[in-house]
Structure 1
Amino acid sequence: MLFDSHTHINDEAFDTDFSEVLHRAEAAGVRQMIVVGVDRSTIERVFPIIDQHQHIYGAIGWNPEDAVDMTEDDFRFIKQNLSHPGIVALGEIGLDYHWDKSPYSVQHTVFRRQIQLAKEAGLPLVVHNREATEDMFRILKEEHAETVGGVMHCYSDDWMWAQRFIELNFYISFGGPVTFKNAALQRETVVQVPLDRLIIETDCPFLSPHPFRGKRNEPARVRLVAEKIAELKGLSFEEVAQATTENAQRCFHIHEHG
């Protein structure tokens, strides 16, 4: 059994063949997944999915690239919806210094407010970090994010930083890039992350693993991520599948029924 810890199956890229995408995921052994909303429109599209599919859970939060657009109304909207029984995390939230749209100070404020919200709700965080690792770590530490923990989504830093995030009660999640020929750092890091702190994801429709790089990604392909990690760590596919599923269930406080 596989758990895709980060999908955007609420993306318009899946509008035409949504049910086929879910069938392929099931055929590939993906029994559970999380669908992530990152702004007003994508958050609204999370709820019909999690209401209709009992093994799909939701995460909602405001993404850092668009931090400058978040209104008080949006903040209240997220806060009100965190109590929905299918919502298991607040995210993805974080810092993104790659794009120029939202000033760093605005990103920091929006990030801190949402960490505080997650702590009030008792929900783990799904954290997006792009080219902002030192500030990211500092803010998580200052806000005592370890009290709720969570996942460092689509991890792309080295093992030294991974250790520090693990000490802050975070799991380290890898996706399609671990299969890319030019992703030596991810491969080195995944070998060193302990199996009990490892989670897998697709981030679909983005970051499709080799040999589908550049094409639309989908949850079924989380299997290719698990296979690559098993190969890199010298473990069986079954060991990686079982551990990453149990880790995701533990991280998101999901109790497997049936």
Structure 2
Amino acid sequence: MTDIPQITDSHCHLDFPDFDGQHAAIIARAAQAGVTRMVTICTKLKNEPAVRALAEAHASVFYAAGTHPMSAASEPLATTAELIAMAQHPKFVAIGETGLDYHYTAESAEIQKQSLRVHIDAARQTALPLIVHARDADADMAEILREEHQNGVFTCVMHCFSSSQSLARAALDLGFYLSMSGITAFPKSSELRGIFAAAPLDRILVETDAPYLAPPPYRGKRNEPAYTADTARCAAETFGVSYDVFAAQTQANFDRLFTKAASFEAAA
């Protein structure tokens, strides 16, 4: 296994029912594929204790917490203080996911914006990266990110990026990162691959968003962290580099953005 390039699944949801009772096997399969780290994401703050427990139980698992934009209207509004308190845990490495989703939940746009700004404030105060979900909300997302960045610097990854070239450029201009999911490996995603190919390789992460969006050859099946490697092999082709080079670069990118995870590993 030492000869397999190491890679990180920067975004998955190991607490979802799809994985109940299978965590040890899933993490073992990931390790066999070279996926030696993963960040599991809490999308409703009431579930944070269960997500935290997964990170505590498995050395390769880190976690983040926030209120998903599609739940912003149905869950209590997070407070900055609440997020900062959670962030004191040594394996809590990012704020979110948060963001804007107007595809299914456009009617809650205003509360989504309010929630996003709370999460940005927490990311700024903790110096942890913000994990952003953006769907069918490019103009508002770019505006809020630019405005809030002017109010005080923070770091950010646009998770599972599948939006427009203009939002990609807005994020990159602010020093943010773009994360490639299994969508980028779908045959019909050539336009999206073009957006990534135009981005700097030192600003790219990879993820599964498991249990969703499995890349080929697993498309239509449950995704899991091991399949990060399949997405990354396609991504290496997109950037015209070897898999070894792509894996090493995205590892360096992850360490640069998720500094708390890198420091935790260094001290272990």
TM-score scaled by length of structure 1: 0.94
| Counterpart contact for 1:60–1:89, Cα < 8 Å | yes
Check if 1:107 corresponds to 2:116. no
Q: What SS does the aligned partner of 1:211 have? A: coil
Could you say which residue in structure 2 is the equivalent of 1:249?
255
Q: What SS does the aligned partner of 1:148 have? A: coil
Check if 1:143 corresponds to 2:151. no
Check if 1:215 corresponds to 2:197. no
| Counterpart contact for 2:7–2:37, Cα < 8 Å | yes
Could you say which residue in structure 1 is the equivalent of 2:158?
152
Q: Which amino acid aligns with 1:68?
A: A
Structure 2 distance, partners of 1:11, 1:227, is 26
Q: Show structure 2 runs of 5+ residues with no match.
A: 1-5
| 2:189 counterpart (173, 183, 194) | 183
Q: Show structure 1 runs of 5+ residues with no match.
A: none
State how 1:158-197 maps to structure 2 within 5 Å. 158-197=164-203
Instruction: Compute the displacement of 1:161 (Å).
Output: 2.7
Does the C-alpha gap of structure 1 residues 75 and 102 become closer, same or farther in structure 2, counting only changes over 3 Å? farther
| 1:82 counterpart (79, 87, 97) | 87
Aligned residues: percent identity?
35
Could you say which residue in structure 2 is the equivalent of 1:236?
242
Instruction: Compute the displacement of 1:166 (Å).
Output: 1.1
| 2:33 counterpart (16, 28, 33) | 28
| Counterpart contact for 2:214–2:221, Cα < 8 Å | yes
| 2:62 counterpart (50, 54, 57) | 57
Instruction: Compute the displacement of 1:44 (Å).
Output: 2.5
| Counterpart contact for 1:8–1:204, Cα < 8 Å | yes
Pairs aligned (count): 258
Structure 2 distance, partners of 1:236, 1:73, is 42
Check if 1:96 corresponds to 2:129. no
Could you say which residue in structure 2 is the equivalent of 1:40?
45
TM-score scaled by length of structure 2: 0.90
Q: Which amino acid aligns with 1:113?
A: V
- Cα deviation 1:226-245 (Å, max 9, x = unaligned): 10011222210000101111
Q: Which amino acid aligns with 2:44?
A: D
| Counterpart contact for 1:60–1:90, Cα < 8 Å | yes
| Counterpart contact for 1:40–1:74, Cα < 8 Å | no
Q: Which amino acid aligns with 1:191?
A: A
Q: Which amino acid aligns with 2:246?
A: V
